[in-house]
Chain A
Amino acid sequence: MHRFANPGRFQRLAARLLPWLKGLTALAFLAGLYLALLASPPDYQQGETVRIMYVHVPAAWMALFAYLLLGLASASALVWRHPLADVAAAALSPVGAAFTFIALVTGALWGKPMWGTYWVWDARLTSFLLLFFLYLGHMALLGAFDDRSRGQRSAAVLALVGLINLPIIKFSVDWWNTLHQPASVARFDGPSIDPSMLWPLFTMAAAFHLYLLAAVMERMRTQLLAARLRTQRQARFETWQGEPGA
């Protein structure tokens, strides 16, 4: 990992990779949306409403995955003081929050026609709402101190504490009875989704992964540029202060 510890090297790598990543993301979304919205069959019970699932499920996966990455970045920032870890953490939380929001909204829109309600306070939905608040808290803490490094450190601690929520979200549907259905894909006896619906879902999931990667890399790149700008300004300000007659 420390091969990319040098921000300059990361910048060069990101500049080379990003155009490809963005192109791939666009292609994967085109294929995924075609498969999910047009080429896949309706469900025997949900009818066409099942198509919400192709956005809801990958968004929820990405919300969890981004949080896992946020936890890893926070750990390597606190333990190894990796120079890119804080940048990665700050880049991850708004993207993760957006995915969480998408999962919550699409879930509510699916819930109204299927369950008969937009929202219930069952274990899955409540723990997922908590994930959204953890992301918001992370973003708020990052900017809450004049000293940036203090903000980064407290945000990292919050992110690590919040890691405990991930297994709770995942297993909430098994540990307690909930209105939310149990897992359909990641289960011991294989997916309970028909292959004609599973492949569109996997294509959408691939598109979401690519988007997550591209968005986080782009955000890290701009944050590194912003940091360089800040130090340059600081340096100019100091030389200006040092000049006679200023």
Chain B
Amino acid sequence: MKRKTLRLYLLVISLALLGIATALVLNAFNRELVFFFSPSDIAAERPAAGRMIRLGGLVEVDSLSKLEDGATVSFRVTDLSSSLDVAFRGVLPDLFREGQGVVVQGAFNESGRFVATEVLAKHDENYLPPEVAKALKASGRWQEGAATMGTDGSEP
């Protein structure tokens, strides 16, 4: 009985130490573990031109437009407190639309414009049949893209 108890204590203590060590490591690498930066992050600390980053947020409503060349699209990515212009030449994913969450990968060019090389749509955690979504919109209880962000931990 005594040896069993000893082994149990040993196990619990080593797991606790392992947990603390992991928490410290993850905490130290916190900045590297985020998948994308928000427009506010970038406004606070602008990365150098040419450095690849990912930018995440909502596609600002009424900001999507095609440029003169007919192939490049331009839109603004916002986190509702700050926003950033993005230019992208390529195929947009199915879920891409204004008010939706996106993660774009790209870099600032020499003239200070954010040029995306890849645009990913971010899906939120809400699952609804089309009729219910319509009914919610009709009753005015709909919050467009409210749940999509989650960058600052704020609940919708």
Give A contacts to B, CB under 8 Å. 41-46, 50, 53, 75, 78-80, 113-117, 120, 122-123, 160-161, 163-164, 168, 173-179, 181-184, 187, 189, 192-194, 196-197
* Chain A-chain B contacts (Cβ-Cβ < 8 Å), number: 118
One of B44-52, B63-71, B119-127 contacting the partner: B119-127
Nearest chain-A residue to B152 (Cβ)? A177
Smallest distance from the beta carbon of B14 to chain A beta carbons, Å? 8
- Assess whether B80 is interfacial by the CB under 8 Å rule: no
Q: In the complex, what distance in Å separates the CA atom of A87 from the CA atom of B83?
A: 57
Query: What separation, in Å, do the CA atoms of A78 and B91 have in the docked complex?
Result: 54
Q: Are A41 and B129 closer than 8 Å at their CB atoms?
A: yes
| CB atoms of A46 and B18 under 8 A apart | no
CB of A157, distance to nearest CB on chain B (Å): 9
Chain B residues contacting A164 (CB-CB under 8 Å) are 15, 18-19, 22
Are A182 and B18 also in contact (CB < 8 A) when A78-B7, A79-B4, A115-B120 are? no
Known: A164-B19, A177-B150, A178-B35. A45 touches B95 (CB 8 A): yes
Contact B94 A120 (CB under 8 A): no
> Interface residue count for B (Cβ, 8 Å)?
45
- From A50, A161, A179, A184, B103 is in contact (CB under 8 Å) with A179
**Contacting residue for B127 out of A80, A122, A193, CB 8 A:** A193
**Interface pair A43/B35, CB less than 8 Å apart:** no
B3-27 interface mask toward A, CB cutoff 8 Å, 1 = contact, 0 = none?
0100110010001001100100010
Q: Can you list 17 contacts pairing A with B, beta carbon distance less than 8 Å?
A: A43-B128, A44-B128, A44-B132, A44-B134, A50-B127, A80-B4, A115-B93, A115-B121, A177-B36, A179-B35, A179-B120, A192-B127, A192-B147, A193-B127, A194-B127, A194-B128, A197-B129
For the complex, give the distance between the alpha carbons of A194 and B8 in Å: 44
Residue of A nearest to B56 (CB): A177
| Complex Cα–Cα for A179 and B95 (A) | 13
User: For the complex, what is the distance from the CA of A117 to the CA of B33, rounded to whole Å?
Assistant: 19
Q: Tell me if A122 and B35 are in contact (CB < 8 A).
A: yes
Q: Is the CB of A114 within 8 A of B95?
A: yes
Task: Please name all residues of chain A whose beta carbon is closer than 8 Å to the beta carbon of B123 when the two chains form the complex.
Answer: 45-46, 114-115, 181
The 8 A-B pairs with the shortest beta carbon distances in the complex, nearest first, are A116-B93, A41-B129, A44-B133, A122-B35, A193-B127, A184-B125, A44-B130, A181-B125
Residues in B neighbouring A115, C-beta threshold 8 A = 93, 95, 120-123
Given contacts A116-B121, A120-B120, contact A44 B4 (CB under 8 A): no
Residues of B within 8 A of A174 (CB): 150, 153
Known A44-B133, A174-B150, A193-B126; further 20 A-B contacts with Cβ < 8 A: A42-B130, A43-B127, A43-B130, A46-B123, A53-B127, A78-B11, A79-B7, A79-B11, A114-B95, A114-B121, A115-B122, A115-B123, A160-B15, A168-B26, A177-B35, A179-B120, A181-B122, A192-B127, A192-B147, A194-B127
Q: How far is the CA of A192 from the CA of B124 in the complex (A)?
A: 10
- The residue from B103, B125, B129, B147 contacting A196, defined by CB atoms under 8 A apart: B129
Are B127 and A42 in contact (CB-based, < 8 A)?
A: no
A177 and B129 within 8 A (CB): no
CA of A175 to CA of B23 in the docked complex: distance in angstroms? 11
Residue of B nearest to A165 (CB): B22
The complex places the Cα of A181 from the Cα of B155 at a distance, in Å, of 13
